[in-house]
Amino acid sequence: MAYLNIDINVSKDTKLMLKEVEKFSMEVMRPAGIALDRLSDPADVIQKGSVLWDVFKGFREMDLHLLQIPKSLGGMAGDLDPMAAILMTEQLGYADAGLTISMGVSSLPFNAAAMFPSPVMQKLARDFCEDKTGSLIGCWAITEPDHGSDWSLGGNKPKCGPSVTAVLKGDEYIVNGEKSEWISNGTIATHAMLHVGLYPEKGMDGQGLAIIPLDLPGITRGKPLDKMGQRPLNQGSIIFQDAKIHKKYMAVPNPDFLKATAGRGLANVNGGMGIVFAGLAKAAYDEAYRYARKRVQGGVRLFEHKNIKLKLMQMFTQVEAARANARRMAMYNLANPMSPSVVHAVAAKCLSTETATNVASDAMQIFGGYGLAKEYPIEKMFRDARASMIEDGVNEALAIKATEFM
């Protein structure tokens, strides 16, 4: 039995586009992700000639980086049927979640820049749209060695304030401190969306947001991080030592404005995670189903055993619940970009990441010993899924934060 997709009203154009994305994701991304995952030194993931760069190039050539930037700047926002954006994002997550996050994060500073009217921000967004090779790569620099969940839960407590601070002197901010080794694309990014403390006495409520090039004097990087899951996703620290950043790069110097609009950022990022990891959950289910149809034990295929049938049906139900929930949330939030539902986005992030982890774990059980073997993709899917429950905010901290928007 093939997996029946029950999305209705998907246009002909969307189906065609989805076919292209499926081809790229399964022929380029999936094998690249497996190859990069097996490299023992994370520095090799980003070497010249690495298949990582084929993924970046392919992604840009297909214009997948344009989806959130307005047409006036060279982007495609509003052009695409929202369902097309959802299905394509899910498919990328299906192929390789870590690489999908890398691609998504690489757009973040430029998508954000497009929202600000100043010439420097508009130019950044325009240059990004024109980049078909992957020469411009973004990151979102928020977590610090001493502040992880504090960014979700900190509030106005000075003890929980940012360690990376920016002090205005004339036309320049002097930036000092370190963003942690968990910054996705941290060692390869050319630009960062950087959260900095402007008023330490206000804790996290005193932060500003800068969108900066990372080739300025005083900015250095750490080593690529070695970790358990999403190994193709480059991560590493960014260190600021008296880095001088012109005030034109401080996109949001007013902490109250940043606080008032924080919900939009939370909804955007969590919503994306919800779709990507629903895709990974489906991928793990598909592997388990295929294996159960093939493997013979007790003289019959695994699928003939009642316990396996029940387990597969339970997994299928969980996957469909996560996919349906993510679609419903994304359709609403894409239609309401200025007032999205944060609660639904966080719920989707938590449900999809937990579903992906549980389904990948169940799939491993169905594979028996082979579930642990590198020969099959399940152990990688499990590791990739497990990381997602911590990624972009620990699920528990996000859930507590989301209640502020209820």
Ligand X SMILES: Cc1cc2nc3c(=O)[nH]c(=O)nc-3n(C[C@H](O)[C@H](O)[C@H](O)COP(=O)(O)OP(=O)(O)OC[C@H]3O[C@@H](n4cnc5c(N)ncnc54)[C@H](O)[C@@H]3O)c2cc1C
Tracing tokens 């130019």 back to the chain, one arrives at 123
> Is 393 a binder of ligand X (CB under 6 A)?
yes
Alpha-carbon torsion (55, 60, 66, 67), positive or negative: negative
Beta bridge partners of 194: 141, 210
Stretch that binds ligand X, among 21-29, 134-142, 213-221, 366-374 (CB under 6 A): 134-142
Q: Give the residue closest to ligand X by C-beta.
A: 148
**Interface with ligand X (CB under 6 A), residue from 67, 69, 142, 266:** 142
| Cβ nearer to ligand X, comparing 311 with 386 | 386
Alpha-carbon torsion (56, 59, 63, 69), positive or negative: negative
| Cβ nearer to ligand X, comparing 263 with 393 | 393
Provide CB contacts within 8 A for 224, sequence distance 6+: 42, 43, 45, 46, 187, 234, 235, 236
> Is 270 a binder of ligand X (CB under 6 A)?
no
Stretch that binds ligand X, among 141-149, 168-176, 267-275, 310-318 (CB under 6 A): 141-149
> Is 97 a binder of ligand X (CB under 6 A)?
no
Distance in angstroms (rounded) separating the CA atoms of residues 110 and 128: 7
> Is 110 a binder of ligand X (CB under 6 A)?
no
> Is 182 a binder of ligand X (CB under 6 A)?
yes
Contacts with ligand X, 331-370, as mask; x by CB under 6 A: ----------------------------------------
The token duo for 385 is 């899924």
**Interface with ligand X (CB under 6 A), residue from 59, 128, 140, 367:** 140
Count CB-CB contacts under 10 A for residue 144: 21
> Is 158 a binder of ligand X (CB under 6 A)?
no
> Is 384 a binder of ligand X (CB under 6 A)?
no
CB of 367 to ligand X, least distance (A): 24
| Cβ nearer to ligand X, comparing 272 with 315 | 272
Q: Which residues of 180-209 are buried (b: 16+ CB within 10 A; e: fewer)?
A: bbbbbbbbbbbbbbbbbbbeeebbbbbbbb
Round the CA-based radius of gyration of the chain to a whole number and report it.
21
Helices (H), 38-136: 42-45, 51-61, 82-95, 97-113, 119-130
The token duo for 96 is 């390789």
What is the residue-wise DSSP string for 278-323?
HHHHHHHHHHHHHHHHH-EETTEEGGGSHHHHHHHHHHHHHHHHHH
Contacts with ligand X, 192-231, as mask; x by CB under 6 A: --------------------------------------x-
> Is 14 a binder of ligand X (CB under 6 A)?
no
> Is 184 a binder of ligand X (CB under 6 A)?
yes
CB of 101 to ligand X, least distance (A): 7
Pairing state of beta strands 138-141 and 191-197? parallel
Stretch that binds ligand X, among 76-84, 140-148, 168-176, 340-348 (CB under 6 A): 140-148
Beta bridge partners of 296: 301
**Interface with ligand X (CB under 6 A), residue from 305, 397, 399, 405:** 397
> Is 243 a binder of ligand X (CB under 6 A)?
no
> Is 149 a binder of ligand X (CB under 6 A)?
yes
**Interface with ligand X (CB under 6 A), residue from 148, 218, 222, 253:** 148
Stretch that binds ligand X, among 65-73, 137-145, 163-171, 276-284 (CB under 6 A): 137-145
**Interface with ligand X (CB under 6 A), residue from 50, 100, 143, 207:** 143
Binding residues with ligand X: total (CB under 6 A): 20
Provide CB contacts within 8 A for 339, sequence distance 6+: none
Provide CB contacts within 8 A for 299, sequence distance 6+: none
Binding site for ligand X (CB under 6 A): 105, 140-143, 148-149, 153, 182-184, 230, 387, 390-394, 396-397
